Amino acid sequence: MPNEPVTVSRRDLLSLIGTLSGSAAMYQAMTSLGFAADSGYKGPIKLDGDPKGASVLILGAGLAGMTAALELRKAGYRVQILEFNSRAGGRNWTLRGGDSFTELGGVTQTCAFEQGLYLNPGPWRIPHHHRAVLDYCRRLGVTLEPFTQLNHSAFLHASGAFGGAPQRIRDIKTDFQGQVSELLAKATQQGKLDEMVTKEDREILMQALRSWGALDRNYVYKANLISGDVRGYAKDPGGGLTAVPIPGEPIALSEILKSRLWRHLQNFARYNFQTTMFQPVGGMDMIGKAFVREVGEVIRYDAKVTRIQQDDHGVTVTYTDLKAPATPQQAKADWCICTIPLPVLSQLPINVGGRMKAAIDAVPYSSSVKIGLQFKRRFWEEDEAIYGGISYTDLPIQQIAYPNSGYNRAGRGVLLGAYIFGPNAFEFTSMPPAERIARSVEFGAAIHPQYRTEYENGISVAWHRMPFTMGCAGDWSEAARTEHYANLCQIDGRIVLAGEHASYIPAWQEGAILSSLDAITRLHDRVVKA
């Protein structure tokens, strides 16, 4: 196009806008691979060809293990699962009143939630593009409901900003966007973008900024019914004689910038957190329970694997029956699908090649803590009109999440009082469980003072204290992915690994299921060709 003036491309312009609004910079700050990975699920697996009654021993009755069992058995294999816990599902787990568990260190917690209330201490939300999870939910009869990630009425909070007063997401988001739009509109009007954006595009840009930023006809963002239409009002429109709305005063851009609250906005923009998200009705473990209805009879519980040995003829797994630990047990099969979390697997004798062993040894697990708190009433709805969604804070609890079911009901409710990663996760894990709960109540009260009078009981899950995973999820560095990931996923003789750690979607159930489908596809191919 020889006559076109030199301009920046549209892509560069979008990048410029992204940089001004912070989302690109925030996105690039994320160091871990896998957060923007598309699922790649192609539909129900088809394993054609006769396995001639070959046997498969599956280690772990989480979603990866149970998916393998379901599909392999359907294809004609004899399958058996060894599971460390007394229940199936692994990290797919829901805590209800009466449930108890003992963490490493010996403390037993018993959940005291009212019947009907629950906490999902592991996975708690499903992106709409995690099509394998959704397909199994459909096939296995798991009913889903929406999970709200972005609730505009929830809070963003920083202890050192706005006198510690939490701010509505709606206010921060709209006022940031509006004032940034105003700045960009001014820059355009002052000719500062003339060399970067064509005249034609500049005219459209002005219209777009006015629309996107809720600017008035002078391209100014301020308290009026235009901004009020987006950010809400100091006094909402009503009915009758006192109906006239009063717009609220926007928060100054400088205050928003200094508060750092804009950092939280990416939690609503990221691909894995975009609407529509889902959760199973009644608890995330509905998925695990659905799998158990299909393959439960092949699961041996309370089995602690101590050795994995393969040779030309098959695989022999030595395990301890935790209910009768005196005598080691053995299970044999032609093939083995191992879904044991890597912190555990890396300690087990397993005769795989050096590259796979190096890969198994290369991935520590992230630290994470979730705390569920029961309150006498749903004060977040009754007092603050917060129905579902998540508040974010720079306090060590990091997040408070509101239940996405049972809306508008009188009576008790359970909040996720903390969802913690990073150094704070180690700090909370190190505390006795009762202290974790006490601290989460103390911190949460800074955002919701109602905590002090309405709190009833709580329960905490610190993933490094969970005996069956010894960590939250695979924590792959970029270097480790490059060096080890492909080696981890190979079939080594008669053994292949699966689990969220063998995926590019760490910590997501989709990763567990997809890795399992991929592993059994390759394994089956080898079996029928043998």
Site for other proteins, rule CB under 8 A: 84, 104-110, 112, 304-305, 340-344, 346-348, 361, 364-367, 394, 396, 422-424, 426-427, 429-435, 437-439, 441-442, 445, 451-452, 455-459, 462, 464-471, 475
Sign of the dihedral through C-alpha 83, 85, 89, 92: negative
User: Least distance to other proteins from the beta carbon of 301, Å?
Assistant: 13
Residue 100: beta bridge partners?
110
User: Least distance to other proteins from the beta carbon of 14, Å?
Assistant: 29
Nearer to other proteins, 73 or 307 (CB): 307
User: Least distance to other proteins from the beta carbon of 196, Å?
Assistant: 34
Q: What is the residue whose two structure tokens read 């009654």?
A: 53
Nearer to other proteins, 18 or 396 (CB): 396
Rg (Cα) of the chain, in Å, rounded? Answer: 26
Specify whether the CB–CB gap between 500 and 463 falls below 8 A. no
- Residue 31 CA to residue 28 CA, distance in Å, equals 7
> Which positions ≥6 away from 471 have C-beta within 8 Å?
341, 343, 364, 365, 366, 367, 463, 464
Nearer to other proteins, 162 or 421 (CB): 421
Nearer to other proteins, 361 or 382 (CB): 361
Specify whether the CB–CB gap between 343 and 469 falls below 8 A. yes
Residue 318 corresponds to which amino acid?
Answer: T
Q: Please, what's the b/e burial string for 25-49 (b: 16 or more CB within 10 A of its CB; e: otherwise)?
A: ebeeeeeebbbebebebeeebebee
End-to-end CA distance of the chain: 58
Nearer to other proteins, 179 or 398 (CB): 398
User: Least distance to other proteins from the beta carbon of 464, Å?
Assistant: 5
Nearer to other proteins, 112 or 253 (CB): 112
User: Least distance to other proteins from the beta carbon of 420, Å?
Assistant: 10
Nearer to other proteins, 13 or 446 (CB): 446
> Rounded to the nearest 10 degrees, how much is the dihedral formed by the CA atoms of 91, 96, 100, 102?
30
Specify whether the CB–CB gap between 528 and 51 falls below 8 A. yes
DSSP 126-139: EETT-HHHHHHHHH
> Which positions ≥6 away from 39 have C-beta within 8 Å?
129, 130, 131, 132, 505, 510, 514
User: Least distance to other proteins from the beta carbon of 310, Å?
Assistant: 20
Residue 202 phi, psi dihedral angles, 5° rounding? -65, -40
User: Least distance to other proteins from the beta carbon of 273, Å?
Assistant: 20
Nearer to other proteins, 100 or 330 (CB): 100
User: Least distance to other proteins from the beta carbon of 326, Å?
Assistant: 17
Token pair belonging to 352: 């795989």
User: Least distance to other proteins from the beta carbon of 194, Å?
Assistant: 40
Nearer to other proteins, 225 or 434 (CB): 434
Nearer to other proteins, 84 or 176 (CB): 84
User: Least distance to other proteins from the beta carbon of 317, Å?
Assistant: 13
- Residue 174 CA to residue 176 CA, distance in Å, equals 5
Specify whether the CB–CB gap between 514 and 378 falls below 8 A. no
Strands 118-119 and 95-96 come out as: antiparallel
Token pair belonging to 469: 């995973």
What is residue 31's DSSP assignment? -
